[in-house]
């Protein structure tokens, strides 16, 4: 899945698709960020959506988030193969069309069931955009230049969860929830026109790989039979469940349990900011301490802290300060674990890294969304389900990592290799 030729200089790379370097980075960053907006801007609007569409259970409103995750995860593997076979540009444009259609259709619907269908469609379109933009970066840049581009893109991507809920809150303060979808649809329409006019194909015909379902099946076999890749993929699935459960439940936890109301976007922004800080810190520390030492320590801490939160919640609702502090620490641990687990899972794959990325992304996002949605549906007016779900996900991850590493934590021969921490992102 890796092109045979990769430009390594700034000018050559961006010239491959007819853009200057800054224009290229901004374009990729905004496209990637628009997908995150589709998730986090919805959080303040969930009660309004539920009330407007006569949703009988408050927990069902969570599906507005969960169904998007599901569509996003389930379709990733399809677009990876399609973009390798038919080029990036057409798949990207098609994904944007799907995304735009889903947004405007969601804005027009008066049915909760149809809204969920359109959210699934949006997730599919979002997956096409995400997969193709990352592939375009790989086509145009290699090595440190690719890491540099991805670092700039990830800065924008990490800012979005901090500001998106405030955007959603602003819209529902002065208009109804339909306008969130309209705004996202307008932004995606502008991106479609921009890509149509400015973005050239980054994968020449001679570098494309014929569409082969057999190759995908062989990739699954390789991933599932490699102890390290399979074990850490299951760990990634558990921690996708963690972030899914948190995003799906956070409106009810902060809004209903702790009554934050309009302060929800600020509370969410601070925890999202912790994830951003953790990613930057990991990039600086991983060369010194190694991926396994950092992620294994974070994994154990995550599990212990989640268990403490669950036990505390059994005795009654903990104070907001206590729960918020724990959630903030847990999300920092999540960021460190997810980033390093992704890199570790791909270590043994060599030339199959592209296929393995698509497969691990498909498995971890799809099943993680289902697990996170399951925890969300257990919401009972307390923080017990969230802390309990986190503790279970953490415990399963510990067991799978012990299996993958044959009972040995914190060290592995691969840690002696020089790995560029900026080259791998979720």
Q: What is the pLDDT of residue 149?
A: 81
pLDDT digits (tens, 9 = 90+) for 233-292: 999 999 999 999 999 999 999 988 999 988 888 888 888 888 888 877 887 787 788 889
Across the chain, mean pLDDT equals 86
Over range 200-218, report the average pLDDT.
82
CA angle 85, 87, 92 (to 5 degrees): 120
d(C-alpha 168, C-alpha 41), whole Å: 5
What would you measure as the largest C-alpha separation in the chain, in angstroms? 64
Residue 49 has which token pair? 């959506």
Band the pLDDT of 155: cuts 50, 70, 90. Answer: confident
Q: What is the pLDDT of residue 167?
A: 93
Query: Of 164-178, 317-331, 398-412, which gets the smallest average pLDDT?
Result: 398-412
Q: Is the pLDDT of residue 46 over 50?
A: yes
For residues 393 and 420, the model is more confident at 393
Task: Give how far Cα 123 sits from Cα of 54, 109, 257, 379, Å.
Answer: 24, 17, 29, 24
Q: What is the DSSP letter of 60?
A: G
**What superfamily would CATH give domain 214-421?**
MFS general substrate transporter like domains (1.20.1250.20)
3-state secondary structure of 75: coil
Band the pLDDT of 106: cuts 50, 70, 90. Answer: very high
The CATH architecture that domain 1-211 belongs to is: Up-down Bundle (1.20)
Beta carbons of 132 and 92 less than 8 angstroms apart? yes
Domain ranges for the chain, please list them: 1-211, 214-421
Residue 166 has which token pair? 């405030």
Over range 114-139, report the average pLDDT.
92
Do 1-211 and 214-421 agree at the fold level?
A: yes
Q: What is the pLDDT of residue 145?
A: 75
Over range 319-327, report the average pLDDT.
95
Band the pLDDT of 15: cuts 50, 70, 90. Answer: low
Beta carbons of 334 and 242 less than 8 angstroms apart? yes
| pTM score of the predicted model | 0.82
d(C-alpha 282, C-alpha 288), whole Å: 10
Q: What is the pLDDT of residue 374?
A: 94
Q: Is the pLDDT of residue 14 over 80?
A: no
Q: What is the pLDDT of residue 42?
A: 94
Of these ranges, 26-30, 198-202, 323-327, the one predicted with the greatest mean pLDDT is: 323-327
Q: Is the pLDDT of residue 1 over 70?
A: no
Query: Of 37-51, 53-67, 348-362, which gets the smallest average pLDDT?
Result: 348-362
d(C-alpha 161, C-alpha 175), whole Å: 21
User: Measured in Å, how far apart are the chain's first and last C-alpha atoms?
Assistant: 18
Band the pLDDT of 3: cuts 50, 70, 90. Answer: very low
Band the pLDDT of 147: cuts 50, 70, 90. Answer: low
The number of C-alpha atoms within 13 Å of 347 and in the hemisphere containing its C-beta is: 24
Q: Is the pLDDT of residue 217 over 90?
A: no
């Amino acid at each position: 899945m890796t092109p045979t030729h990769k430009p390594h200089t700034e000018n050559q790379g961006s010239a491959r698709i007819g853009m200057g370097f800054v224009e290229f980075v901004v374009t990729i960053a905004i496209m990637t960020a628009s997908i995150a907006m589709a998730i986090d801007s919805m959080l303040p609007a969930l009660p309004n959506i539920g009330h407007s569409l006569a949703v009988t259970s408050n927990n069902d409103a969570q599906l507005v988030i969960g169904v998007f995750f599901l569509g996003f995860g389930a379709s990733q593997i399809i677009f990876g193969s399609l973009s390798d076979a038919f080029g990036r540009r057409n798949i990207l444009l098609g994904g944007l069309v799907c995304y735009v259609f889903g947004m405007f259709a969601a804005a027009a619907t008066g049915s909760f069931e149809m809204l969920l269908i359109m959210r699934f469609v949006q997730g599919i379109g979002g997956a096409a955009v995400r997969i193709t933009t990352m592939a375009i970066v790989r086509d145009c840049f290699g090595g440190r230049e690719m890491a540099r581009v991805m670092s700039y893109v990830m800065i924008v991507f990490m800012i979005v969860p901090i500001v998106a809920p405030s955007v959603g809150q602003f819209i529902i303060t002065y208009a109804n929830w339909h306008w969130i979808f309209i705004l996202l649809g307008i932004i995606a329409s502008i991106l479609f026109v921009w890509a149509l006019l400015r973005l050239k194909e980054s994968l020449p015909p001679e570098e494309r790989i014929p569409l082969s379902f057999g190759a995908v099946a062989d990739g699954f076999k390789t991933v599932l039979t490699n102890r390290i890749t399979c074990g850490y993929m299951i760990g990634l699935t558990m921690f996708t469940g963690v972030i899914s459960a948190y995003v799906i439940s956070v409106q009810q936890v902060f809004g209903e349990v702790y009554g934050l109301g309009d302060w929800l976007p600020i509370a969410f922004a601070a925890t999202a900011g912790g994830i951003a800080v953790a990613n930057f810190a990991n990039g600086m520390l991983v060369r010194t301490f190694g991926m396994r030492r950092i992620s294994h320590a974070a994994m154990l801490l995550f599990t212990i802290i989640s268990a403490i939160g669950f036990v505390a919640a059994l005795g009654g609702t903990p104070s907001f300060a206590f729960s918020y502090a724990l959630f903030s620490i847990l999300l920092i641990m999540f960021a460190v674990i997810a980033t390093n687990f992704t890199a570790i899972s791909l270590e043994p794959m060599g030339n199959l890294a592209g296929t393995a990325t698509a497969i691990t992304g498909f498995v971890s996002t799809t099943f993680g969304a289902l697990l996170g949605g399951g925890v969300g549906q257990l919401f009972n007016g307390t923080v017990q389900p969230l802390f309990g779900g986190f503790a279970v996900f953490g415990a399963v991850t510990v067991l799978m990592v012990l299996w993958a590493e044959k009972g040995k934590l914190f060290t592995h021969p691969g840690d002696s290799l020089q790995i560029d921490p900026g080259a791998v992102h979720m």
